Amino acid sequence: MWVGPKGSVKEQVAVISLLLLWVLFVNLPAVEAKEVEIAYDDGIYEFTYGWGDPGLTIPEGYMVAVLFTAPDTPFKLLEASFNIEEPDRFRIRVFDSNRRPLPIQQIVEPTTNGWIRVDLRPFNMELNGDFYIALEYLVSGRP
């Protein structure tokens, strides 16, 4: 007497297919995210933007921005670091490659000079291609 699995041939094929898919899914290597640091150090910013009364010696608002190219896209922007000389409030802004603002703005209030790291993970922003990081002065001429 031969004993085989219960159900029709179609049901048996469906179950075997599901088991194979499960085995393949379980055994596939996970895609691991890697953190990459992009450094900027030529000392020349890419664009500036000032606003306020043109007759003022010091503009009402002012920012400088630097263009970055990510090695892999898409990617998530995790943090930005700034080396500042004078500790004072500033805002970080992010722009796409066409200089359109993205919804990442973070006010930073450093208490010391030197390297300041700013966590941008809460924004959970996925970007593609080139992007700009801008430092917007909130106190005239500083940081």
Tens of pLDDT, residue by residue over 63-121, are 888 888 888 788 888 888 888 888 888 999 999 888 888 888 889 999 999 999 999 99
Q: Which helix (H) or strand (E) holds 15?
A: helix 9-27
User: Average pLDDT in the 55-70 region?
Assistant: 74
What is the per-residue pLDDT across 2-25, written as a single tens digit (0 to 9) for each? Answer: 444 455 556 654 545 444 444 444
How far is it, in rounded angstroms, from Cα 115 to Cα 112? Answer: 9
* Distance from C-alpha of 125 to C-alpha of 104, rounded to nearest angstrom: 8
Q: Which residue has the higher pLDDT, 136 or 29?
A: 136
How far apart are alpha carbons 30 and 79 in whole angstroms?
A: 24
Q: What's the CATH number for 47-137?
A: 2.60.40
Q: Which residue ranges make up each domain of the chain?
A: 47-137
